């Protein structure tokens, strides 16, 4: 099951699984059968969208029945035209028969009006209507719906027979149109620049998810996940954790926050290959990095900050100036190359990281507000 799919020019997020659809159909079948008993109904599916629903419904129905289809249309792209055209009419003799319409989805009710117009002219015994999906927010017609499988908000959905300009009908799960783009920021800066402090402030201000590579590693190792076990083996040997493991951990976190407004990536990416992997992953979800925001602070000031922090942090590498400067060399030789990567995409934003926490936050917000 994919979290995000692309159909034509639009992206859709996973919304509902086949398991819930099956349960809804079983409930509909039970209700219809309880009402009709031994009577042999004629089930009529509304094409094209209902074909999968009708097939599964009929397979579940425990008594004799007949099935046929009519074809009506009111959608173009992702919006209803408001005009329903009868494309294929009925040829069966329905005199004194109970007819049960099987609809894939009812939203505005325009199609439903046409259905009642058609069957009001026929000498049937009774007409009942069952729909798999129903959008109560937009249904404005004073017409009965006898059986409802799943009520959903006013979202454009595809899958399980429903399409977007012809695509998506074959999907077994339901996906909803992705309408809001995320705000995805890479927060960057050398050791001691204050990324963690600012990330905690900004995530609350903009309702974003803060993803720290260090936190991800610790959580996976603590919870003894499969990725955590693999990462620990490398770390115990003093080796760097491979990019492939790191990106899989990050993907897992992002996928768990499907409805998030965006992410602040702190400590990732560290290399060009990681940045490329992140871009590829986000592109698959119809997203992108909006910008790399870097706190720029003179190195001597940072050394002084870290030495001061070392008095209380308990970290040995915060207490020796030589070790601190070695960390900066590592940063400049391996990680700062990302500045060039994001500058080439016009996504690099350097921020003066000297001042009070409030002053630096305000500078960062001025950039965040542009995304």
Catalytic residues: 195, 270, 309, 315, 327
- Sort strands 291-296 and 348-352 into parallel, antiparallel or unpaired: parallel
Phi, psi (degrees; rounded to nearest 5) at 16:
-150, 135
Largest CA distance in the chain: 94
**162, HSE (Cβ side, Cα atoms, 13 Å):** 22
The burial of 64, by beta-carbon neighbours within 10 Å (0-12 exposed, 13-18 middle, 19 or more buried), is given as: exposed
Q: Torsion angle of alpha carbons 136, 142, 145, 148, nearest 10°?
A: 10
Please tell me the total number of residues recorded for the chain in this structure: 371
CB of 27 closer than 8 Å to CB of 82: no
Q: List, in order, residues 6 or more apart from 322 with CB less than 8 Å away.
A: none
Instruction: Provide the 10 A C-beta neighbour count for residue 197.
Output: 12
d(CA 46, CA 101): 7
């Amino acid at each position: 099951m994919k979290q995000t799919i692309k159909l034509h020019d639009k992206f859709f997020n996973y919304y509902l699984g086949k398991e819930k659809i099956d349960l809804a159909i079983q409930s509909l079948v039970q209700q219809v059968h309880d009402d009709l008993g031994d009577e042999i109904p004629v089930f009529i599916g509304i094409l094209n969208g209902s074909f999968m629903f009708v097939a599964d419904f009929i397979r579940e129905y425990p008594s004799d029945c007949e099935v046929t289809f009519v074809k009506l249309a009111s959608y173009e792209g992702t919006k209803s035209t408001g005009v329903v055209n009868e494309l294929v009419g009925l040829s069966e003799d329905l005199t004194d028969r109970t007819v049960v319409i099987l609809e894939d989805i009812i939203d505005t009710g325009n199609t439903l009006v046409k259905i009642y117009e058609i069957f009001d002219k026929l000498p049937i015994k009774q007409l009942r209507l069952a729909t798999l999906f129903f959008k109560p927010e937009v249904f404005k017609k004073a017409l009965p719906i006898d059986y409802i499988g799943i009520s959903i908000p006013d979202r454009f959905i595809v899958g399980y027979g429903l399409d977007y300009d012809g695509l998506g009908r074959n999907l077994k799960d339901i996906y909803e149109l992705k309408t809001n783009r995320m705000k995805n920021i890479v927060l960057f800066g050398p050791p001691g620049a204050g990324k963690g402090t600012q990330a905690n402030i900004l995530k609350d201000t903009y309702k974003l998810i803060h993803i720290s590579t260090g936190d991800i590693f610790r959580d996976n190792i603590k919870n003894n996940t499969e990725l955590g076990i693999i990462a620990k083996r490398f770390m115990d040997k003093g080796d760097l954790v491979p990019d492939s493991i790191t990106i899989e951990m990050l993907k897992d976190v992002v996928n768990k926050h499907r409805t998030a407004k965006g992410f602040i990536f702190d400590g990732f990416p560290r290399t060009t290959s990681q940045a490329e992997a992140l871009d590829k992953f986000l592109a698959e979800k119809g997203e992108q990095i909006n910008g790399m925001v870097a706190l720029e602070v003179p190195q001597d000031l940072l050394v002084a900050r870290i030495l001061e922090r070392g008095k209380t942090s308990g970290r040995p590498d915060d207490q020796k100036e030589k070790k601190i400067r070695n960390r900066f060399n590592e940063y400049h030789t391996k990680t700062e190359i990302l500045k060039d990567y994001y500058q080439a995409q016009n996504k690099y934003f350097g921020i003066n990281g000297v001042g009070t926490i409030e002053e630096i936050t305000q500078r960062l917000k001025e950039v965040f507000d542009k995304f």
